[in-house]
């Protein structure tokens, strides 16, 4: 009885902390991340505005017109030129981010391998970006007053297709995946207990392990895909460095995204957000062209000289809408945390204790700062802070008399 009382007191006062050496590193890393997160997009916005101000769009358009008289070929010249400019503007921040991750031991990826990944991303950006912008400008030309709506109509199914195709086509370009049953069949057996508890049908063929250790030192797992491509991916670092009972809770969290239909909810939420996004872009573009179009030598929205303005608006709106998307993301991640605790209750010996040690372990691996600023959390965090998640895991106990689990009933 005394032991139970002592454990209850300990769980009430538990908190996410770091030893002094790691705390200092976590603070410096936290500050660096904030700087990159805000300075990177703001620098991109400033650089694009300077290019527009000095009429780079008009010059690129004239260059493309000298090479070809066909409008679509001019686009195939001007669009990649602007995408290369945009990539070059963002490259210093990406290089600095990789250098910081390497210096703090979070990344072990070699520079040649990093540049390989960067090159693949660039090729994908040029191919899909060029095709997408060609379609966008065709819509602007055909429907000057409604292009924002038709662009949204086409973007939503493309987004669904991308979610379906990325795990199958794109992800293997950057990382190696293999069935989890091949590398750790014993773990699959335990995971299937969690699947059964959730009344789910997730066959082992949809469980994969990713060789994250070739690039990163932290642990992670995630759910991805849509329909037949939906799958759960566990990093090999997680298997190597995290005890099995904690892996079951991590997996339970990811299974929660399946059960609670977070991918579909995300598609609906971001689909609505995208519609508003396109409408605002349409209004801002018309306003800016009326006021500054002559000065910038941009005669109309559908002229290739307006490409820089399109990229500027896309960058600015993406940056300033981050808090909205991240608030939604933190909400569904908290729901998945609840589900992960509930679905592993009775399978993991002590879900409260295991949840606490899991959050502490992951926080230490990623050097998560225990005391983030509320504004930084609001703007940049896609997940609740580690300190909040650990505290919730320590106190969430819906099996007490008079209480009931929110998502999982036996």
| pLDDT for residue 93 | 96
Q: What are phi and psi of 210, to 5 degrees?
A: -110, 140
Chunked into runs of 10 residues, the chain (410 residues) has average pLDDT values of 42 84 97 97 98 97 95 97 97 97 97 98 97 97 97 95 94 96 91 89 89 96 87 94 96 94 94 97 97 96 97 97 98 98 95 97 98 98 98 96 90
Q: What is the pLDDT of residue 203?
A: 86
Q: Are strands 207-210 and 177-179 parallel, antiparallel or unpaired?
A: antiparallel
What's the pLDDT score for residue 227?
Answer: 83
Q: How many CB atoms lie within 10 A of CB 112?
A: 7
> Quick one: pLDDT at residue 3?
35
Q: Which helix (H) or strand (E) holds 215?
A: none
Contacts of 106 (CB under 8 A, 6+ apart): 29, 216, 217, 218, 366, 367
Q: Going from the N-terminus, what domains does the chain have, and what CATH number goes with each? A: 20-174+264-324 (no CATH), 176-260+339-395 (3.30.2010.10)
Which residue in 234, 227, 225, 247 sits closest to 182, CA to CA?
234
- What pLDDT was estimated at residue 201? 79
Q: Residue 226: what pLDDT?
A: 82
pLDDT of residue 6: 35
Query: What is the per-residue pLDDT for 9?
Result: 47
Contact 217, 106 (CB under 8 A): yes
């Amino acid at each position: 009885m005394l032991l139970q009382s002592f454990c209850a007191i300990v769980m009430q006062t538990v908190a996410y902390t770091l030893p002094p050496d790691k705390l200092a590193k976590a603070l410096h890393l936290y500050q660096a991340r904030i700087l990159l997160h805000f300075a990177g997009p703001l620098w991109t916005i400033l650089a694009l505005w300077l290019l527009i101000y000095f009429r780079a769009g008009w010059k690129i358009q004239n260059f493309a017109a000298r090479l070809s008289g066909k409008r679509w070929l001019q686009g195939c010249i001007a669009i990649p030129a602007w995408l290369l400019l945009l990539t070059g503007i963002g490259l210093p921040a990406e290089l600095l981010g990789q250098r910081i991750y390497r210096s703090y031991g979070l990344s072990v990826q070699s520079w040649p391998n990093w540049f390989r990944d960067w090159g693949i991303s660039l090729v994908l950006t040029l191919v899909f970006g060029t095709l997408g912008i060609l379609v966008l400008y065709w819509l602007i030309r055909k429907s000057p007053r409604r292009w924002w709506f038709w662009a949204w109509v086409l973007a939503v199914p493309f987004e669904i297709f991308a979610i379906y195709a990325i795990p199958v086509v794109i992800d293997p370009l950057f990382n190696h995946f293999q069935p989890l049953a091949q590398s750790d069949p014993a773990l699959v057996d335990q995971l299937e207990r969690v699947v059964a508890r959730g009344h789910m049908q997730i066959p082992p063929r949809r469980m994969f392990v990713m060789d994250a250790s070739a690039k990163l030192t932290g642990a992670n797992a995630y759910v991805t895909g849509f329909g037949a491509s939906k799958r759960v991916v566990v990093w090999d670092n997680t298997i190597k460095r995290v005890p099995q009972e904690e892996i079951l809770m991590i997996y339970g969290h990811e299974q929660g995204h399946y059960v609670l239909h977070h991918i579909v909810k995300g598609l609906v939420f971001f689909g609505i957000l995208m519609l508003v996004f396109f409408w605002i872009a349409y209004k801002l573009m018309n306003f800016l062209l009326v006021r500054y179009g002559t000065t910038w030598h941009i005669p109309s929205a559908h002229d290739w000289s307006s490409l820089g303005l399109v990229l500027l608006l896309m960058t600015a709106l993406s940056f300033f809408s981050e808090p909205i998307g991240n608030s939604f993301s933190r909400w569904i991640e908290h729901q998945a945390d609840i589900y992960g605790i509930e679905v592993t209750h009775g399978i993991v010996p002590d879900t409260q204790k295991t949840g606490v040690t899991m959050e502490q372990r992951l926080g230490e691996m990623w050097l998560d700062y225990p005391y983030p600023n509320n504004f930084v959390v609001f703007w940049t965090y896609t997940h609740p802070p580690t300190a909040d998640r650990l505290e919730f895991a320590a106190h969430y106990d819906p099996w007490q008399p008079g209480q009931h689990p929110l998502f999982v009933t036996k």
